[in-house]
Amino acid sequence: MTVSILINQAFSGLTTSVFLFMAAIGLSLIFGVVRVLNFAHGSFYMIGAYCAYQFSVYFGPGNASFWMGAVLAASVVAFLGLLVERFLLRHLYGKEELLQLLFTYSLVLVFADSVKAIWGIEQVSVARPPALSGRVELAGAVIPEYSLMVSIICSFLVLALWLIIQRTRVGRIIRAAAADRETTTALGVNVTWLNSSVFAAGCFLAGLGGALVAPVTAISLGMDTEIVIACFIAVVVGGMGSFWGTLLGSLLYGQVLAFGILLMPEFSLFAVYALMAVVLIIRPHGLLGSSEAVRA
User: Which of 57, 68, 114, 187 touches another protein (CB under 8 A)?
Assistant: 114
The smaller minimum CB distance to another protein, of residues 122 and 182, is found at 122
Strands (E), 39-196: 135-138, 141-144
Q: Tell me the site size for another protein, rule CB under 8 A.
A: 91
Task: For the CB of residue 112, give the shortest distance to another protein in the complex, in Å.
Answer: 5
The smaller minimum CB distance to another protein, of residues 131 and 163, is found at 131
User: Which of 47, 285, 287, 288 touches another protein (CB under 8 A)?
Assistant: 285
Q: Of the ranges 75-83, 183-191, 243-251, 283-291, which one interacts with another protein (CB under 8 A)?
A: 283-291
The smaller minimum CB distance to another protein, of residues 121 and 186, is found at 121
> DSSP 3-state helix, strand, coil percentages of the chain (rounded to 5)?
80, 5, 20
* Residue 268 touching another protein (CB under 8 A): yes
- The per-type count for the chain, helices as H runs and strands as E runs, is 11, 2
User: Which of 96, 139, 186, 188 touches another protein (CB under 8 A)?
Assistant: 96
Q: Which of residues 234-253 bind another protein (CB under 8 A)?
A: 236, 240
* Residue 64 touching another protein (CB under 8 A): no
Residue 217 backbone phi and psi in degrees, to 5: -145, 170
DSSP 90: G
Inter-residue contact 23 to 206 (CB < 8 Å): yes
Residue-wise burial string across 173-209, b where 16 or more C-beta atoms lie within 10 A, e elsewhere? bbbbbbeeeeebeeeebebeebbbbbbbbbbbbbbbb
Fill in the per-residue mask, 162 to 201: x = in contact with another protein (CB under 8 A), - = not in contact: ----------------------------------------
d(CA 210, CA 202): 12
* Residue 25 touching another protein (CB under 8 A): no
Task: For the CB of residue 3, give the shortest distance to another protein in the complex, in Å.
Answer: 11
* Residue 220 touching another protein (CB under 8 A): yes
The smaller minimum CB distance to another protein, of residues 159 and 277, is found at 277
Inter-residue contact 154 to 22 (CB < 8 Å): yes
The smaller minimum CB distance to another protein, of residues 161 and 294, is found at 294
User: Which of 28, 38, 54, 147 touches another protein (CB under 8 A)?
Assistant: 147
* Residue 139 touching another protein (CB under 8 A): no
d(CA 129, CA 234): 28
CA distances in angstroms from 93 to 74, 97, 159, 187, 196, listed in the order given: 25, 8, 31, 19, 12
Which residues, in sequence order, are CB contacts of 145 under 8 Å at separation 6+? 132, 133, 134, 135, 136
User: Which of 3, 60, 95, 166 touches another protein (CB under 8 A)?
Assistant: 95
* Residue 159 touching another protein (CB under 8 A): no
Q: Of the ranges 140-148, 160-168, 174-182, 202-210, which one interacts with another protein (CB under 8 A)?
A: 140-148
Task: For the CB of residue 173, give the shortest distance to another protein in the complex, in Å.
Answer: 22
d(CA 36, CA 40): 11
* Residue 155 touching another protein (CB under 8 A): no
Residue 99 backbone phi and psi in degrees, to 5: -65, -40
